[in-house]
Amino acid sequence: MSSNLASRHVRTQTSSIVATTVCFLVVALILTGLMAHVVVKMTRSANEIDDARATRAARAAISAFVARLSGTTTDNAIWDDAYSAASSPTAADWAFENWGKTSEDYALYDGAVVIGPDRSSIVSAYAKGKPFEPSAFFGEGFFRQTNAAADPERAPLVNFIKTENGIALLASQAIQPFETAGELPKLSTLSFYKEFTSEVLDTLSDEHELEGLHLETKPRPEFLNTPITDMKGAVIGYLVWPSKAPGSTVFHQVTPYVAAAVAILALFLIGVLMVGASEARRLRQLAQAALFEAGHDSLSGLLNRHGLLSLLEELESSGASPLRLYLVDLDGFKAVNDAWGHAVGDDLIRLVSNALLVCHPEVVAAARLGGDEFALVHVGDATCDDMEKTILAQFAEPFKIGGRTIEVGASIGAAARDGDIEPLELLRRADMALYRAKANGRGQAIEYDPELDQERQRVAELEGQLKQAISSGAIEAVFQPLVSATTGAVTGLEALARWRTSTGNISPEIFIPLAERCGLIDALGVHMLRTSIEHATNWPDLALSVNVSPIQLCNPEFAAEVISVLQELDFNPKRLTLEITEGVLMTNPDQARRSIDQLKRVGIKFALDDFGCGYASIGALRQFGFDRMKIDRSLVSALDEGANGADVLRATISLATALQIPVTAEGIENSRQAAILREAGCDQLQGYLMGRPMSAHDISGRLQEDSAA
């Protein structure tokens, strides 16, 4: 998984953890809220149910109180003896004996009053066994009730009434016989009253389970209240008692458990929150690490390509200017890796990274884009020239790693941000400049120029044309004679590729490297081999030399392909020499050796071409079993430039001769050169002096001329 994907994955995970935690908390809080609501509701309902019961009990208590006095009154008023006494002259005495005296300590009433038939005269009025004045004690309400009760048809009138002492229950009924026959005369009225004393309230309270029952003149909001009304319906007091609130009582009893449950839930939720938060934090850190990783190179700690592009975007939006990008590619890094191993190579990368990062105060960032390719972002006024010199100066001194002294160089490609170009375009331009710098040789610095783009365009077009030319067979073979140094006779021919276009001839020095770069060299190589062999069948006595690119030799199928062409065209492998330059021996010696060995086994010979212009050693000649060495034209032309050249040539040739490797000298243009080389020990000569590269037709003509001579 790439760092980018990993960071996205971690972000998704964080969001899902946060969402899960939040969901969990919300659900837990909703459940807690519901439970709290249920508890409160139950508490309140239990209180309300009990309050309703208590109110009903209070009303029942009043009703029982009323019923008791009402019954007592009826029992005494509807009584034949009382009726007879009421109309007798001893009515007052009778009343005192039966009711007034009793009132002193009678539980059912506190006082008894008899009003005469005229409805205003008081026949007898006793309270607690003593005479009293009813209108003073009860007020004018008393006669209103007794007058209303004087009608014998009526049931006893029972009403609460205000008294001097407080509130009393007053019951009045006409005194009448048990049975009536005919119409009764005007009747006296008997009234009993019972005061609403605290004893009475206590009794009611005990009978009806109404603890704390008492009278108040005003309602008490914190208590339960039942109004007491008089005959006219006016409220004259309130029965008041405290609510038992059983729900609250139970609630108080369970409060410690509820509190414990709430505390546990709170702790649990805090725990969940903390675990969720720590998990989210951990994932956030992971995401940050992944993000860092996505933008940085793990070996050097510098930005990577992705990080560099992001930074360039940021700098672009912040308007940092002037901005230049330098791409730095190490020269000779592969050799360090090969020679000292990857651990040393890694150390070297780290040293170079540190050096580049601080090489100039105007360098705002450094990045590592590939194995040995770095980028520096420069924002400031220092010139491109100064910056390039500063960067190259970092490689002037060798690096010291574990006691080793390691020398590497660098090539630089620079590009300035010009107008609104995108970071990718800036990178492309610097890359193009670097490509050119490397093509120019080691330690070069090139700044991007639009001309590079045009050249790239031309190269791309040329590539297309070359592809076309190879497939259509437009690449032709010419042949240059290889002449015996002793007899001067042509003993062989070197095939050389020619590309003639409508606009002129293109040199193999241009199209061979181009074919190598764009992957066309294998096709071109096979084409040249086939064409040369086809022509060479016309010259059965001559050897044929064909040039092979190092890249072809590195292709594991190369040997098999050559052998198959030889078989197909029925060409004797012993007549064929393949010329290779030494480059391949340095870059991929193992594969080169495998190909060479395989081809040598079928009789094909190998010549080391261009000896003396590169790094090839005499050792390589031996190691790879070359059959011939070809001295480079530059060494031959050096013969004309100074005396030294002849000595170098002689020494080189005698080394090869000592190894019993025959030597061909190329590029011989005059007879002086030919004489020196012949004398130095070359057995084969090649050059314009002996014959220029010619078409197959011209070669045939030349051979005929030679044989005729």
Q: 353 or 664: whose CB is closer to ligand C2E?
A: 664
Binding mask 524-543 for ligand C2E (x = CB under 6 A): ----x---------------
Q: What is the Cα–Cα distance from 138 to 158, expressed in whole angstroms?
A: 14
Helix (H) or strand (E) holding 80: helix 80-86
Name which of 579 and 582 has its Cβ closer to ligand C2E: 579
Any contact of residue 684 with Mg ion (CB under 5 A)? no
Nearer of residues 247 and 667 to ligand C2E, judged by Cβ: 667
Q: Judge contact between 158 and 193, C-beta under 8 A.
A: no
Whether residue 661 contacts residue 624, with contact meaning beta carbons closer than 8 Å, is answered with: no
Q: Are 172 and 147 in contact (CB under 8 A)?
A: no
Decide: is 508 part of the binding site for ligand C2E (CB under 6 A): yes
Question: Does 152 engage in binding with ligand C2E (CB under 6 A)?
Answer: no
Q: In terms of CB distance, is 426 or 663 closer to ligand C2E?
A: 663
* Residue whose CB is less far from ligand C2E, 236 or 699: 699
Closest among 586, 585, 625 to 607, alpha carbons compared: 625
Pick one of 63, 90, 507, 704: the residue that binds ligand C2E (CB under 6 A): 507
Q: Is 191 in the site for Mg ion (CB under 5 A)?
A: no
DSSP characters over 91-126: HHHHHIIIIITGGGS-SS-SEEEEE-TTSSSEEEEE
Determine if 388 is a binding residue for Mg ion (CB under 5 A): no
Residue type for 509, please?
A: E
Question: Binding partner of residue 388 among Mg ion, ligand C2E, none, CB under 5 to 8 Å per kind?
Answer: none
- Looking at 20-28, 321-329, 339-347, 664-672, which segment touches ligand C2E (CB under 6 A)? 664-672
Nearest to 427 by CA among 352, 382, 375, 358: 375
Q: Is residue 495 within a helix (H) or strand (E), and if so which, with residue range?
A: strand 490-501
Nearest-angstrom CA–CA distance, 698 and 215: 148
CB closer to ligand C2E out of 447 and 666: 666
Strands 189-195 and 167-174: antiparallel
Contact 111, 125 (CB under 8 A): yes
Whichever of 282 and 498 has its CB closer to Mg ion, that residue is 498
Strand duo 214-216 + 399-401: pairing: unpaired
Q: Which of 99, 609, 677, 693 binds Mg ion (CB under 5 A)?
A: 609
Instruction: Enumerate residues 601-660 that contact ligand C2E by CB under 6 A.
Output: 609-610, 633
Query: What is the identity of the amino acid at 659?
Result: L
Residue 529: which residues within 8 A CB-CB, separation 6 or more? Answer: 546, 562, 565
β-pair partners for 610? none
* Residue of 297, 331, 579, 582 interacting with Mg ion (CB under 5 A): 579
Phi, psi (deg, nearest 5) at residue 330: -75, 140
Beta bridge partners of 497: 477
Nearer to ligand C2E, 82 or 521 (CB): 521
Q: How many residues make contact with Mg ion (CB under 5 A)?
A: 5
State the nearest-atom distance from the C-beta of 431 to ligand C2E, in Å.
28
For ligand C2E, the binding residue among 47, 547, 595, 652 (CB under 6 A) is 547
CA dihedral 181, 182, 188, 192 (to 10 degrees): 50
Give the one residue of 51, 316, 418, 669 binding ligand C2E; rule: CB under 6 A. Answer: 669
- 444 closest CA partner among 327, 546, 551: 327
Site for ligand C2E (CB under 6 A): which residue of 509, 590, 641, 705? 509
CA atoms within 13 A on the CB side of 355: 20
Residue 666 in contact with ligand C2E, rule: CB under 6 A: yes
667 binds ligand C2E (CB under 6 A): yes
Q: Kindly state the smallest distance separating residue 564's Cβ from ligand C2E, in Å.
A: 18
Tell me the window of 24-32, 164-172, 402-410, 502-510 that interacts with ligand C2E (CB under 6 A).
502-510
What is the rounded CA–CA span in Å between residue 331 and residue 709? 55
* Interface with ligand C2E, residue 195, by CB under 6 A: no
Residue with the two structure tokens 């005059």: 670
**Closest distance to ligand C2E from the beta carbon of 572 (Å):** 20
**Judged by CB, which is closer to Mg ion: 476, or 610?**
610
Given the complex with ligand C2E, which of 359 and 506 has the nearer CB atom?
A: 506
Residue 178 as a binder of ligand C2E (CB under 6 A): the answer is no
Angle at which helices 558-569 and 589-601 pack, to 10 degrees? 20
Q: Establish if 582 lies at the interface with Mg ion (CB under 5 A).
A: no
For residue 575, give every residue at least 6 positions away whose Cβ sits within 8 Å of its Cβ, in sequence order, or none.
536, 542, 543, 544
Q: Closest CB to ligand C2E among 150 and 553?
A: 553
Adjacency order of strands within the sheet including 167-174? 130-131, 122-127, 111-115, 189-195, 167-174, 157-162
Task: Give whichever of 169 and 544 is closer to Mg ion, judged by the CB atom.
Answer: 544
Q: How near is the Cβ of 641 to ligand C2E at its closest, in Å? A: 15
Q: Per-residue string for binding with ligand C2E, 398-417, x by CB under 6 A?
A: --------------------
Point out which span in 23-31, 183-191, 256-264, 503-511 binds ligand C2E (CB under 6 A).
503-511
Query: Which CB, 330 or 533, lies closer to ligand C2E?
Result: 533
Examine residue 579 and tell whether it contacts ligand C2E (CB under 6 A): yes
Name the DSSP class of 331.
Answer: E
Closest C-alpha among 203, 205, 252, 249 to residue 224:
205
Q: Which of 172, 532, 547, 595 binds Mg ion (CB under 5 A)?
A: 547
Which residues in this chain contact ligand C2E in the complex, by CB under 6 A?
Answer: 480, 496-497, 507-509, 512, 528, 547-549, 579, 609-610, 633, 666-669, 686-688, 693
Which residues in this chain contact Mg ion in the complex, by CB under 5 A?
Answer: 547, 579, 609-610, 666
